[in-house]
């Protein structure tokens, strides 16, 4: 942060000094909203959340070295009292940027891939000058200004990630830090239920390019029609990236290795260069192209761009983290978040990495899909059931559509049909859940809680702490569990050397805990 006295902070935020705050005291350290992150010289911003009120930690923050607290009510510490802490934080960030004419702000948005692209682009800009970018997905009305306030007089680039929860959200973020370059990746199905349709999502994402000045650059995905249409919504110059011939920056000759990592030829107007990604999944190619297009606009030579892309490894946790245990079991931790598009990409990558191996997946029902939720979760189950898995664990609530879809395709793809004497029906499913809760096996036709499984069932009943689906004569073992810990427990005794496990689900399910337990330590 550029040093500011408390009197100036009060002026910028329309606040009032309180608690014996010295107007001449200077904030030099980071601006933080977590009292545990306070350093000497910090400004602690007290945010009242649903479960924790930062005002309760004001005195602790000052004891740890904070110069003062930005608060919305009186606290037992030197403070600047403001009407709205988030608005005050935004005002501070905007005021700081006005004193930094040397800094170029680059915004990245899209339904999927924002964080990975932001990380790649920050690596490229660091080759030119000092760069500030958020850790992980600090992309909302708090994370955005906090990232800006990490910059200082030496900062040349701010690479910022912009997320949208409603129409107008991205526009508000661009007011905090007006971008000169805007990168739009894709319009997918993330938060479909919140927005009501992909057209509304496109409207929200396009607010980034609307904020660009006529001297700026919009970096758009030529392969996504909803993104391509955003060219008409900006006064900035447009540059295109993608796989097709119409893209200025494109990838040719894409080849996947046995670990699911892509190599390709990076084509640009000034020459070509080979790229071999260390990032996993075919979707990483699009993220790399987006970063390359922005880097190219900044004047980086194609050879430097290719070199940096080839050396990049994941910076933000729980995104396609691939770890081999000592027994050669491979854990793919992609548990940060999930939507229908990212689930599809994850299963495609896992099919390559796990080819010729026993494969297991831990997933959960997708959220924020609105009226389309049941159908999209059924489709997720069908995709998982057809993925050639040895085992599928579905964790958490609202799992029935996923389980039904998984069973339908797993049953259809097995070479030995599920016996007619034990048909899959909603009643059998519900009875199976009841039996599983008390440790029994799925019942036979017409059986109540005391029913027995048919003789064609495998010796090991397919049950879980919450529920189960009827067993297959051969094929995918499918089970429902309540949480991440139960998912790890189900797998712990079944994994053998050489197996592979994919872990992916909505952020709220916390499935990174499953990966942590399977790896025998802290989450990677």
Q: Which of 119, 125, 54, 134 has the alpha carbon at shortest distance from 86?
A: 54
Cα separation of 475 and 391, whole Å?
8
pLDDT at 372: 82
- Does residue 196 have a known ligand-binding role? no
Provide mean pLDDT across the span 40-59.
Answer: 95
Is 505 annotated for ligand binding? no
The answer to whether 94 touches 82, Cβ cutoff 8 Å, is: no
Contact 23, 10 (CB under 8 A): yes
Say which CATH topology domain 100-311 has: 3.40.1190
| Distance linking the first and last C-alpha atoms of the chain | 30
Q: Calculate the average pLDDT of the chain.
A: 86
Strand order in the sheet with 271-280: 131-132, 157-161, 104-109, 181-184, 217-221, 237-242, 249-256, 261-268, 271-280
Chain centroid to CA 26: 36
CATH superfamily label, 4-83: MurE/MurF, N-terminal domain (3.40.1390.10)
Summarised one tens digit per residue, pLDDT across range 131-175 is 999 886 677 899 999 999 999 999 999 999 998 878 999 999 999
**220 pLDDT higher than 80:** yes
| Amino acid 139: pLDDT | 76
Q: Residue 205 annotated as binding? A: no
Q: Is 42 annotated as a binding residue?
A: no
Reported confidence tier of residue 453, pLDDT bands at 50, 70, 90: very low
Which tens digits make up the pLDDT trace of 313-339?
A: 887 776 788 999 999 999 999 988 788
Query: Is 440 part of any known ligand binding site?
Result: no
Nearest to 205 by CA among 107, 285, 286: 107
Report whether 115 belongs to an annotated binding site: yes
* pLDDT classification of 524: cutoffs 50, 70, 90: very low
* Structural domain 321-414+475-519, CATH architecture: Alpha-Beta Complex (3.90)
Q: Which helix (H) or strand (E) holds 483?
A: none
Question: Is residue 112 annotated as involved in ligand binding?
Answer: yes
Q: Which residues contact 70 (CB under 8 A, 6 or more apart)?
A: 9, 13, 15, 43, 44, 45, 46, 79, 80, 82, 85, 88, 89
Q: Evaluate if residue 450 carries a pLDDT over 80.
A: no
**Stretch(es) of the chain classified as CATH 3.40.1190.10:** 100-311
Where does CATH 3.90.190.20 sit in the chain? 321-414+475-519
Q: Say how many CA atoms lie within 13 Å of 106 toward its Cβ.
A: 32
Q: Are 381 and 405 in contact (CB under 8 A)?
A: yes
């Amino acid at each position: 942060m550029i040093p500011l006295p408390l009197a100036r902070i009060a002026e910028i935020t329309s606040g009032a000094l309180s608690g014996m705050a010295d107007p001449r005291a200077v904030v030099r350290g980071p601006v933080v909203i977590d009292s545990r992150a306070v350093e000497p010289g910090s400004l602690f911003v007290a945010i009242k959340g649903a479960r924790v009120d930062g005002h309760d930690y004001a005195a602790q923050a000052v004891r740890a070295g904070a110069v003062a607290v930005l608060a919305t009510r009186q606290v037992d510490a030197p403070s600047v009292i403001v009407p709205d802490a988030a608005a005050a934080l935004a005002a501070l960030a905007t005021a700081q940027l006005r004193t930094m004419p040397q800094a170029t702000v680059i915004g990245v948005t899209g339904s999927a891939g924002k964080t990975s692209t932001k990380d790649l682009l920050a690596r490229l800009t660091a080759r030119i000058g000092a760069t500030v970018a958020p850790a992980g997905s600090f992309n909302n009305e708090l994370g955005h200004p906090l990232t800006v306030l990490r910059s200082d007089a030496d900062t040349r680039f701010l690479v910022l990630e912009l997320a949208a929860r409603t129409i107008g959200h991205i526009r508000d973020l661009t007011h905090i830090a007006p971008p000169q370059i805007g990168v739009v990746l894709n319009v997918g199905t993330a938060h479909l239920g919140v927005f009501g349709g992909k057209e509304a999502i496109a409207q929200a994402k396009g607010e980034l390019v609307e904020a660009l000045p006529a001297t700026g650059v919009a970096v758009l995905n030529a392969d996504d029609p909803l993104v391509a249409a955003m060219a008409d919504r900006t006064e900035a110059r447009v540059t295109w990236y993608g796989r097709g011939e119409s893209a200025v920056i494109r990838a040719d000759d894409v080849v996947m290795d046995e670990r699911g990592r892509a190599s390709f030829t990076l084509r640009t107007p000034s020459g070509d260069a080979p790229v071999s990604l260390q990032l996993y999944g075919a979707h990483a190619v699009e993220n790399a192209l987006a970063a390359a297009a922005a880097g190219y606009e900044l004047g980086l030579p194609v050879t430097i761009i290719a070199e940096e892309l080839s050396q990049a490894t994941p910076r933000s946790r729980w995104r396609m983290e691939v770890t081999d245990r000592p027994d050669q079991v491979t854990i793919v931790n992609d548990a940060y978040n999930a939507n229908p598009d990212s689930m599809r990409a994850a299963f495609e990558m896992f099919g390559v990495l796990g080819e010729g191996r026993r494969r297991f997946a831990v997933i959960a029902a997708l959220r924020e899909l609105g009226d389309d939720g049941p159908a999209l979760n059924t489709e997720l189950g069908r995709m998982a059931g057809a993925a050639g898995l040895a085992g599928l664990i579905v964790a958490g609530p609202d799992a029935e559509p996923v389980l039904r879809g998984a069973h339908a395709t797993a049953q259809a793809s097995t070479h030995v049909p599920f016996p007619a004497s034990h048909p899959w029906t909603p009643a059998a499913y519900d009875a199976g859940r009841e039996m599983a809760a008390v440790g029994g096996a799925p019942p036979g036709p017409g059986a109540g809680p005391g029913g027995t499984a048919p003789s064609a069932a495998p010796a090991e009943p397919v049950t879980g702490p919450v529920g189960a689906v009827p067993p297959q004569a051969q094929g995918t073992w499918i089970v429902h569990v309540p949480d991440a810990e139960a998912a790890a427990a189900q797998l712990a005794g079944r994994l053998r050397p050489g197996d592979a496990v994919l872990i992916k689900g909505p952020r709220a399910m916390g499935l990174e805990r499953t990966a942590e337990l399977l790896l025998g330590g802290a989450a990677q």
